Every structure is written in C-alpha cells, then in structure tokens.
C-alpha cells in the first residue's frame, strides 16, 4: 500500500463537506487535463482513430508540442534562406493545422508548446541535435509568424519543452560547471513573447518554464572532466533562479527586469516509488513536492522577478509502467498512482491544470538521460501498450478513483471525466472473502464531474461504474486502499 502525507482526519472533514454540498476546503477548482497524443494526432493514418478514442475518454483539452524545424523553410540548411520570417504564408504548417483545427471544432482547449528541434541555420554550431544556443532573434520572427497564423485558435502558448533538459536545449552547463541554459532560455522566452506581441497580441497568454523535474545545481570538476557536461540537466529550481537572475537566496543577482507570464508550467513526474516520493535534491520538484515550486515562485515574486500569484500548470505528467525496467510500476499500480497524482493536483489551489502523457506507449528506449547522448528514451506512461492493447489505466482514466483508509474509515474521491454536467456514479466494493462486487453507494457528482464521500464499510478493493446518457458503460479497474501517514 502507498503511504500518503495528508492526515485522514483532515481528508475526512474535507470530503464530508463535499458530501453535504459545500466546496471542499482542499479542492482547488476545475483543472483542465491537457491530454498529449501528438504521435497519433500528427499522422494521417492514426489521427482519426486517436480522436475517437480521446472523445470516448472524455478529453477536453490537448497539448501539442510544436517543433520549429518541422515547419521552417530549408530547415536542414546551415545557411538561413532569404525569406520574410514573420510571414506565416511561407511556413509548411502541415499536420499541426489539422490537429489544432480538429481540437477547436470539438470545443477542446489547445496548449501549443513551441520547442526544438530548431532549423539548422538557427543554431550556433549548425550541428545535430539542432538545439544548441538557438538564435533568439530568429525565434522572435518565428513566433510572430506562429501568432499571426494561429492567433486565438490557441488558448495557451508555452515557450520551449523542458529547457532544463539536455535533450531539448544546449548547453546546459558552462565550462566551469555552472548552469548556462537558464540565461539562454530567458532570451528565447523574452523574444518569443515579444514575437507574439508583434503578431497583435497585446497581452498574450504564455506559460513560462515547462521544466523537467530533476537535475543538478552545478557540476563538480570530476563531472566536468569525466563526462560531457552537455548530458547533465539543470535542477528546475536552480533553472528558475538563473532564468530570473536570482541568487541561491532568491535575491536579485543582476539588473534583469521582470518577466511576464500567464502561468508557470512544470512536468512533475515521479519515479516508481510513487506520487508522494520526495527527491533528495532540494531544487528538484516532483508531484509530491509541489510546495517547493510554490515557495520558489513566491520568493521570486517578492524579489520583483515575476508577477505574484502565478498559477502552476502541470502540462506534462504520467506514471510509467512495465515493461519500462527503469521507472515502470505494475500496470495496476500505474492506474492507482495516476489517480492519486491527479488528486494531489486537484486539492492544491495553486495548480491550474493537470495532464496526461501519452495515449499509447513509445517503443522501449534506453535509460533516463540517454537522449542527451544522442540515444532514444521512450516513455511507457500511456493508456495503451505500444501494440495498442489497453492497460488498466485506459479504463481508469475516464473515471479515476482514490481510496484512503485509516482506523476502519474510508475516504473516496473521483471524477467522471466524460460527463458534460452533474451525473450519478456507482461505487462498487468487494469484501475480502467475496468474488463479486456489490454497490457500495450511488453518488451525485458536481457539475464538473467530481465526487467524494466517506464510509465505514470494509472492503478489499473498489471500482467505479458509470453509464453515459448515450448508454456507453465505463467501469474502472480494481483499486486498493492507501494508508495515510
């Protein structure tokens, strides 16, 4: 059983209020879940089936990683072609247009993360993997074209994917072992933001950060000498301070002005120890240590480096399952951990959005970090295996369920994701000696599909059963109880 950090007495009080119709004290708000399935959405032979699956799953918002090199003229040339780079008519938008248009036609929100790889001519060394010190002025022109082309079709823009990760932005550290990527990213963010303004967006909705959860604050001499410094990632909070020109105590370390953003985006992945794992590095932020990021943002705002009260968008998250031998948990545990992580985000008022990455597993790759060495790192965080066979998470994601137990009492929390309003859902329970499930309770959701209640009825496992107005049956997998600390 997993061990959680919220006292059950507080949770029971919270859920009791919810049962009586009051807003739970720990609940945040409606948090959209940005679903990412770019591999399927951007291929003509898989995109229609992916859309049908996503509609069934209850998707209402999508995240699309938008690679600059995919659409730019002469992207493989070392010499920049002569063209008006702010003119959207000179880019090959291709499958990205289809994905954005389709999402908008379904009423889904769109988050567009503009990122590397970049055109070869926009890099400082003109060498693969085409993410070394991208030219910020070129990026501003490109973002102007992006803004003119998509405009309000995109609800949120984000600038760069995991800029503190060596697989997406280089160099991460300088020759003295100090972070280099934060200042590179600052320039890209400033110019990208200015590019959207040049496209006619006076106050564009832009997320800053998109940071990966782990990394180093600095490198030792041995690490510099024995390893290429490019393969190491910068810890997210060290990256945040460098990007905002703050020292280790969150005080101004230069004459940089403040950066403006609509939110801070972060990828709060955890490892196989579960969603309440606390990484030892104080500047690392996983789903169980979101308070570290919140505190850092508060201190940065106090220093005048960024606007205060910045909401946190968890724009990429997933629990990896086996056959990933490095980070994978059992498929059953994946469904359980994923729901707990969503609950952690939901009860945090600072969190404005959660996410699911991926629909289908990637092919198996190498160890974490091997992507920075030119290798391939595949994620097994999907709802389906790479062959398309569904995992327990496929049936759990539309109707997530969390069960907490202490001293014979149980607290339940869940969501009916595909609903379009308040509905009824059945919670099933199986006793220790029984082979069958029976109805424990039929509960009413709120208008967003959330529900909660408490019970003293014992059980060994639980599941959710919901039938849509169209008669489609959703039944989640068996879920076990988690004991709080």
Where does the pLDDT of residue 433 fall: very low under 50, low under 70, confident under 90, or very high at 90 and above? confident
- Report CA-CA distances (Å) from 248 to 170, 237, 299, 360: 22, 9, 11, 40
Q: How far apart are CA 252 and CA 244, in angstroms?
A: 8
Number of other CB atoms surrounding residue 436 within 10 Å: 7
Predicted confidence (pLDDT) at residue 8 exceeds the cutoff of 90: no
Max CA-CA distance within the chain? 75
Cα angle 255, 257, 258 (rounded to 5 degrees) comes to 140
Arithmetic mean of pLDDT, 252-267:
96
Where does the pLDDT of residue 225 fall: very low under 50, low under 70, confident under 90, or very high at 90 and above? confident
Predicted confidence (pLDDT) at residue 240 exceeds the cutoff of 80: yes
Tell me the pLDDT tens digit for each residue of 357-386. Answer: 999 999 998 777 666 556 677 999 999 999
Predicted confidence (pLDDT) at residue 18 exceeds the cutoff of 60: no
| Pairing of β 450-455 and β 33-36 | unpaired
Tell me the pLDDT tens digit for each residue of 276-330. Answer: 999 999 999 999 999 999 999 999 999 999 999 999 999 999 999 999 999 999 9
pLDDT value of residue 369? 67
pLDDT value of residue 29? 67
Predicted confidence (pLDDT) at residue 87 exceeds the cutoff of 60: yes
pLDDT value of residue 64? 98
Predicted confidence (pLDDT) at residue 115 exceeds the cutoff of 90: yes
Where does the pLDDT of residue 254 fall: very low under 50, low under 70, confident under 90, or very high at 90 and above? confident
Predicted confidence (pLDDT) at residue 351 exceeds the cutoff of 80: yes
pLDDT value of residue 333? 97
pLDDT value of residue 4? 41
402-484 CATH fold: Immunoglobulin-like (2.60.40)
Where does the pLDDT of residue 30 fall: very low under 50, low under 70, confident under 90, or very high at 90 and above? confident
Where does the pLDDT of residue 25 fall: very low under 50, low under 70, confident under 90, or very high at 90 and above? very low
Strand-pairing partners, residue 158, are 113, 207
* Domain formed by 31-397, architecture: Alpha-Beta Barrel (3.20)
220 burial (CB, 10 Å; 0-12 / 13-18 / 19+) is exposed
Q: Which residues of 83-120 are buried (b: 16+ CB within 10 A; e: fewer)?
A: eebbebeebebebbeebbebbbeeebbbbbbbbbbbbb
Tell me the percentage of the chain whose pLDDT exceeds 70: 91
Q: Are the folds of 31-397 and 402-484 the same?
A: no
Domain residue spans of the chain: 31-397, 402-484
Q: Which residue pairs from 37-43 have beta carbons closer than 8 angstroms and sit at least 24 positions apart in sequence?
A: 37/62, 37/358, 37/359, 37/360, 38/64, 38/65, 38/99, 39/358, 39/359, 39/360, 39/362, 40/359, 40/360, 41/95, 41/99, 41/102, 42/95, 42/96, 42/99, 43/95
């Amino acid at each position: 059983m997993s061990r959680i950090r919220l006292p059950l007495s507080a949770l029971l009080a919270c859920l009791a209020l919810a049962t009586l119709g009051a807003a739970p004290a720990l609940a945040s708000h409606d948090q959209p879940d940005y679903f990412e399935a770019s591999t399927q959405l951007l291929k003509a032979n898989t995109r229609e089936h992916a859309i049908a699956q996503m509609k069934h799953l209850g998707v209402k918002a999508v995240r699309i990683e938008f690679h600059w090199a995919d659409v730019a003229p002469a992207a493989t040339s070392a010499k920049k072609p002569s063209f008006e780079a702010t003119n959207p008519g000179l880019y090959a938008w291709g499958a990205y247009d289809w994905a954005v248009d389709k999402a908008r036609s379904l009423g889904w929100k769109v988050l567009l993360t503009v990122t590397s790889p970049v055109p070869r001519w926009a890099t400082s060394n003109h060498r693969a993997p085409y993410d070394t010190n991208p030219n910020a002025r070129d990026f501003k022109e490109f973002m102007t074209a992006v803004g003119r082309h998509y405009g309000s079709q995109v609800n949120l823009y984000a600038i760069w994917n995991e800029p503190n990760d060596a697989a997406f932005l280089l160099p991460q550290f300088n020759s003295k072992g100090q972070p280099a990527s934060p200042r590179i990213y600052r320039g890209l963010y400033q110019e990208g933001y200015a590019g959207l303004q040049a496209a006619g967006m006076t106050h564009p909705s832009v997320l800053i950060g998109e940071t990966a959860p782990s990394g180093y604050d600095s490198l030792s001499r041995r690490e510099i000498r024995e390893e290429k410094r490019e393969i190491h990632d910068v810890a997210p909070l060290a990256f945040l301070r460098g990007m905002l020109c703050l020292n280790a105590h969150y005080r101004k370390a230069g004459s940089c002005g403040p950066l403006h953003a609509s939110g801070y985006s972060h990828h709060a992945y955890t490892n196989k120890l579960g969603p309440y794992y606390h990484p030892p590095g104080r500047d690392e932020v996983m789903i169980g240590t979101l308070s570290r990021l919140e505190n850092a943002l508060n201190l940065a705002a106090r220093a005048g480096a960024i606007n205060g009260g910045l909401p946190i968008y968890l724009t990429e998250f997933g629990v990896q399952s086996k056959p990933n031998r490095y980070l994978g948990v059992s498929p059953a545990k994946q469904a359980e951990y994923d729901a707990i992580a969503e609950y952690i985000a939901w009860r945090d008022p600072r969190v404005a959005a959660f996410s699911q990455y991926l629909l289908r597993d990637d092919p198996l790759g190498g160890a974490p970090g091997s992507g920075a060495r030119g290798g391939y790192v595949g994620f097994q965080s999907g709802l389906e295996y790479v062959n398309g066979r569904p995992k327990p998470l496929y049936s759990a994601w539309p109707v997530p369920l969390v069960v907490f137990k202490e001293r014979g009492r149980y607290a339940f929390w869940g969501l009916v994701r595909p609903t379009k309003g308040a509905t009824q859902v059945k919670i099933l329970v199986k006793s220790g000696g029984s082979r069958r499930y029976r109805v424990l309770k039929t509960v009413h959701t709120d208008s967003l599909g959330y529900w909660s209640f408490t019970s003293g009825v014992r059980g060994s496992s639980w599941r959710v059963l919901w039938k849509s107005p169209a008669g489609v049956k959703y039944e989640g997998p068996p879920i076990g109880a988690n004991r709080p600390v």
